[in-house]
Amino acid sequence: MREDRQRLDKWLWFARFAKTRTLAAKLVASGFVRVGGQRTDNSAKAVAVGDVITVALPKLTMVVRVEALGERRGPAVEARQLYTDLNGDAGALVSDGDRS
């Protein structure tokens, strides 16, 4: 894969939308993720900086723009820098004060 792209399941895991990469892949395969408004069930789909990702979670739908590609699954503060929440701060998965 090109250096300016990353697998969708890997990015979701780095950004802490899922606890494991396997769960991230299942989230995508189940059809709960859209990239650029298009539903995808391919966890290997490449995402790049600037892509808009919609994730339908049980009680919340998150719309985020990819700001950076992850290099590791780091602390919450690092994960929060990978995306901009387009819903506003009310639905943020990871707050700046979260230390887990």
Paired residues of 6 in beta bridges: 47
* Residue 100: inside a domain: no
pLDDT number for residue 99: 47
* Residue 29: inside a domain: yes
Q: Which token pair is 64?
A: 């985020």
Q: What's the total number of domains in the chain?
A: 1
Cβ neighbour number for residue 66 with a 10 Å cutoff: 21
* Residue 49: inside a domain: yes
* Residue 77: inside a domain: yes
pLDDT number for residue 12: 96
| 88 vs 96: CA distance, rounded Å | 14
pTM of the model: 0.83
* Residue 45: inside a domain: yes
Nearest to 19 by CA among 60, 79, 61: 79
- For residue 25, what are the domain limits? 6-90
pLDDT number for residue 100: 46
* Residue 78: inside a domain: yes
pLDDT digit string (tens) for the chain, length 100 residues:
788 899 999 999 999 999 999 999 999 999 999 999 999 999 999 999 999 999 998 888 999 999 999 999 999 999 999 999 998 655 555 555 554 4
CA angle 84, 74, 8 (to 5 degrees): 55
